Chains A and B, each alone.
Chain A
Amino acid sequence: MQYIPNILFVIALVAGIGYFTRNIRKVIRNIRLGKDVDRSDNKGERFKNMAMIAFGQSKMVRRPIAGVLHVIVYLGFIIINIEVLEIIIDGIFGTHRIFGFLGGFYNFLIASFEILALLVLVSVIIFWIRRNVINIRRFKTLKGWPKNDGNIILYFEVVLMTLFLTMNAADLQLQELGADHYIKAGSYPVSQFISPLFNGMSEGSLVLLERGAWWLHILGILVFLNYLYFSKHLHILLAFPNTYYGDLKPQGEFDNLEAVTNEVKLMMDPSADPFATPAGDEPEGEPEKFGASDVMDLNWAQLLNAYTCTECGRCTSECPANQTGKKLSPRKIMMDTRDRLKEVGDNIDKNGSFVDDGKQLLNDYITAEELWACTSCNACVEACPVSISPLSIIIDMRRYLVMEQSAAPSDLNNMMSNIENNGAPWPFNQMDRLNWSNE
């Protein structure tokens, strides 16, 4: 009977990690629905970007208030997780504070966890106020699930930190009472102030309190881990690969579509036979689609972007189109891409492979009006703290509108026919190009 807690713990751990792994595999499968793009170059620069931008939070702190608060929660998350290691070992083997033998260093560790936990609590409360009380447009414009999602994560953090401090406070009382199993270990700069609340409680009640907080804390962590998949909060994991695989080209450089290059070369090649049948070894099938109308037409890096987005809205708040009341919101572009990708993934789960559902990213999620409002100024790309490029999706979708559907606004069609006919976006004759020199 004495091993029941250990067994229950192992079951909870395996179930928690197992379900999470299953869902993460779905995320990876969905990301791989995207087209291939080579991001295997410049490993050094990529590692540096990951170290600076994800690990070092360099772009977060460009907005100092949100940035510093985020750094605290991020550090708290990483460092307090060392404690989770101890909890797991204790849970499996029925030990208590297994790292206690580290003595002074252990005291230092526990003390830093406690101080961080308090700072995290304070930061999370400020985050909640920013989201719900202060009139910050990028949060105010979130409605429904995305708004609730943001708050749920904050509630989780409050509960987890409170449980952690309660557990320590009860533990401290038990240590002072010299209770069996509760070794004297750790230093408790924060929970020592909570501990007096439990003065006068019996040893049994204190053990119940300590164990209760301990169990709820670790179960809470496992639930939170599994919540990630359903929320915008996957960024805590995906920010790292996303910054690693981010686009290294200058922001102004848009990729040259290879399929188009091949066709253009054929058109420009005087020796090409216009009636030639395609080379025999090419597989028959649908000709390649130009641009993107659905998530499968995007590349995997763009889909990884969509799962990484944590909907902070810095992109949208910097967007000139959005600031001037247009429908375009780069954040919505990313959220729509993810929602559609999730829908496609669920479709695959249900049917084994994707069955046409009569929907696509274009029109059902993102409208042409949004796409045409973009000035391609890269403010959204510059603003993103985790190297997401909403712009690349906008351009790929414009490509589909123009090259597959000839659905550009009429002004742009005029501009393009001018370029085609006169080599300038306005109706001027190419032969007049040097006239300015003798005007």
Chain B
Amino acid sequence: MSETVKVPTMAEYMAEGKKPEVLFWVGCAGSFDDRAKKITKAFVKLLHNARVDFAVLGTEESCTGDPAKRAGNEFLFQMQAVTNIEVMNAYEIKKVVTACPHCFNTLKNEYPSLGGDYEVMHHTQFLKSLLDEGRLTVEGGKFKGKRITFHDPCYLGRANNVYEAPRDLLKKLEVELIEMKRCKRNGLCCGAGGAQMFKEPEPGNKDVNIERTEDALETKPDIIAAGCPFCNTMMTDGVKNKEKEDSIEVMDVAELIANAQDL
């Protein structure tokens, strides 16, 4: 994707004396991971398309501290949190949207008691609200009739009880949504959570992402839909491990909607 998209920063908004409707919290994966950057761009296109007045923190954004907290480093987590909260409070942020369930969970649940109280939405929830307000149109386009299964991210699903927003969006794409045998509150982890993304797994007889990919493959999908950059990596690796990467794509819900419209 070489085409650049205009991404305003909070600093620019501040300089113009304006405030955006929503802060897009990009997150570390969304900023640096090559695969996740595509999700970020797809989401930005959808925001532009729906004429959402948004901004990002850009270089003022820093890790929410989620992986540090799950690894047990409460100090590092709170240092990150307090620093981020200072920045966000200085910009008088009210509403935040993020495409990462880990950022979403941390910002929504763990920042308030440290002084950071915002309305926090996962991008699938935000897109659903745009859809409901008639600002976004979601049409089947090229995915119409495709077999798609949605992998629930733990930090969106069980952790915060968000199960329907991503599914509602997928249904609008007129796809054939097939549930895995373990889904929603019984969904199996992709293996990345709890800071596992950043370490080798403990000895065992299988990797968690392989186990989960097998769940997904059982549904014979054309596409595995995800709502988390880390799940995306894990499932993509799983599909490659099963040598199915030529027939099965792993895509974020935002990418599916953007691609359906050829944005």
Chain A residues close to B by CB (< 8 Å): 249-254, 256-257, 260-261, 263-265, 267-268, 290-291, 318, 320-321, 323-328, 369, 372-379, 381-382, 395, 397-403, 408-409, 411-412, 414-416, 419-420, 423-426, 428, 430-439
The answer to whether A268 and B82 touch (CB under 8 A), given A251-B158, A372-B202, A437-B4, is yes
Q: How far does the alpha carbon of A431 sit from the alpha carbon of B188 in the complex, in Å? A: 36
> Can you add 19 more A-B contacts, CB < 8 Å, to A372-B199, A373-B201, A423-B63?
A251-B159, A252-B159, A254-B69, A254-B70, A254-B110, A321-B208, A324-B204, A369-B203, A374-B194, A376-B70, A412-B195, A424-B31, A424-B62, A430-B59, A432-B31, A433-B59, A436-B37, A437-B4, A437-B44
Residues of A within 8 A of B114 (CB): 256, 261
Which are the 4 A-B pairs with shortest beta-carbon distances?
A252-B159, A398-B72, A376-B194, A423-B62
Query: Shortest Cβ distance from A107 into chain B, in angstroms?
Result: 45
The answer to whether A377 and B202 touch (CB under 8 A), given A256-B74, A403-B72, is no
Q: How far does the alpha carbon of A374 sit from the alpha carbon of B204 in the complex, in Å? A: 13
Task: Decide if B158 touches A426 in the complex (CB within 8 Å).
Answer: no
Q: Which of A320, A431, A434 sits near B191, CB closer than 8 Å?
A: A320
Residues of A within 8 A of B191 (CB): 320, 375
Q: Return the chain A residue nearest B113 by Cβ.
A: A256
The answer to whether A249 and B109 touch (CB under 8 A), given A415-B199, A419-B63, A434-B58, is yes
Task: Decide if A434 touches B31 in the complex (CB within 8 Å).
Answer: yes
Task: Decide if A408 touches B7 in the complex (CB within 8 Å).
Answer: no
Task: Decide if B74 touches A252 in the complex (CB within 8 Å).
Answer: no
Q: Return the chain A residue nearest B71 by Cβ.
A: A412
Task: Decide if B72 touches A402 in the complex (CB within 8 Å).
Answer: yes
- Say whether B149 faces chain A, with CB atoms less than 8 Å apart: no
Task: Decide if A376 touches B205 in the complex (CB within 8 Å).
Answer: no
Query: Shortest Cβ distance from B213 into chain A, in angstroms?
Result: 12
Residues of B within 8 A of A318 (CB): 186
Task: Decide if A379 touches B188 in the complex (CB within 8 Å).
Answer: yes
Residues of A within 8 A of B110 (CB): 253-254, 256
Residues of A within 8 A of B237 (CB): none
The answer to whether A324 and B207 touch (CB under 8 A), given A249-B109, A256-B114, A436-B41, is yes
Task: Decide if A430 touches B62 in the complex (CB within 8 Å).
Answer: yes
Residues of A within 8 A of B194 (CB): 374-377
- Say whether B5 faces chain A, with CB atoms less than 8 Å apart: yes
Chain B residues close to A by CB (< 8 Å): 1-2, 4-5, 7, 9, 26, 28, 30-33, 37, 40-41, 44, 56, 58-59, 61-63, 65, 67-76, 78-83, 105, 109-110, 113-114, 154-155, 158-161, 185-186, 188-189, 191-208, 210-212
Q: How far does the alpha carbon of A323 sit from the alpha carbon of B205 in the complex, in Å? A: 9
Q: How far does the alpha carbon of A412 sit from the alpha carbon of B105 in the complex, in Å? A: 21
Task: Decide if A425 touches B198 in the complex (CB within 8 Å).
Answer: yes
Q: Return the chain B residue nearest A426 by Cβ.
A: B32
Q: How far does the alpha carbon of A405 sit from the alpha carbon of B200 in the complex, in Å? A: 20
The answer to whether A395 and B113 touch (CB under 8 A), given A256-B78, A320-B191, is no
Residues of B within 8 A of A424 (CB): 28, 31-32, 62-63
Q: Return the chain A residue nearest B86 by Cβ.
A: A268
Query: Shortest Cβ distance from A133 into chain B, in angstroms?
Result: 26
Task: Decide if A264 touches B159 in the complex (CB within 8 Å).
Answer: no
Q: How far does the alpha carbon of A426 sit from the alpha carbon of B198 in the complex, in Å? A: 9
The answer to whether A408 and B72 touch (CB under 8 A), given A253-B109, A264-B78, A264-B82, is yes
Task: Decide if B76 touches A416 in the complex (CB within 8 Å).
Answer: yes
Residues of B within 8 A of A264 (CB): 75, 78-79, 82
Residues of A within 8 A of B70 (CB): 254, 376, 395, 398
Residues of A within 8 A of B81 (CB): 256
Query: Shortest Cβ distance from A412 into chain B, in angstroms?
Result: 5
Residues of A within 8 A of B65 (CB): 419
Q: How far does the alpha carbon of A416 sit from the alpha carbon of B80 in the complex, in Å? A: 11
Q: How far does the alpha carbon of A437 sit from the alpha carbon of B67 in the complex, in Å? A: 25
Residues of A within 8 A of B40 (CB): 436
Q: How far does the alpha carbon of A261 sit from the alpha carbon of B77 in the complex, in Å? A: 10
Residues of B within 8 A of A431 (CB): 59
Task: Decide if B160 touches A257 in the complex (CB within 8 Å).
Answer: no
Q: Which of B56, B69, B159 sits near A434, CB closer than 8 Å?
A: B56
Q: How far does the alpha carbon of A325 sit from the alpha carbon of B196 in the complex, in Å? A: 16
Task: Decide if B199 touches A399 in the complex (CB within 8 Å).
Answer: no
Residues of A within 8 A of B155 (CB): 252
Residues of B within 8 A of A252 (CB): 105, 109, 154-155, 158-160
Residues of B within 8 A of A373 (CB): 201-202, 204
Residues of A within 8 A of B113 (CB): 256
Task: Decide if A436 touches B31 in the complex (CB within 8 Å).
Answer: yes
Residues of A within 8 A of B160 (CB): 250-252
Task: Decide if B199 touches A437 in the complex (CB within 8 Å).
Answer: no
Residues of B within 8 A of A378 (CB): 154, 158-159
Interface centre among A265, A374, A415, A437 (most CB of B within 10 A): A437
Q: How far does the alpha carbon of A433 sit from the alpha carbon of B11 in the complex, in Å? A: 14
Q: How far does the alpha carbon of A432 sit from the alpha carbon of B30 in the complex, in Å? A: 12
Task: Decide if A411 touches B56 in the complex (CB within 8 Å).
Answer: no
Q: Return the chain B residue nearest A427 by Cβ.
A: B32
Task: Decide if A419 touches B159 in the complex (CB within 8 Å).
Answer: no
Task: Decide if B198 touches A415 in the complex (CB within 8 Å).
Answer: yes
Task: Decide if A403 touches B74 in the complex (CB within 8 Å).
Answer: yes
Q: How far does the alpha carbon of A267 sit from the alpha carbon of B56 in the complex, in Å? A: 27
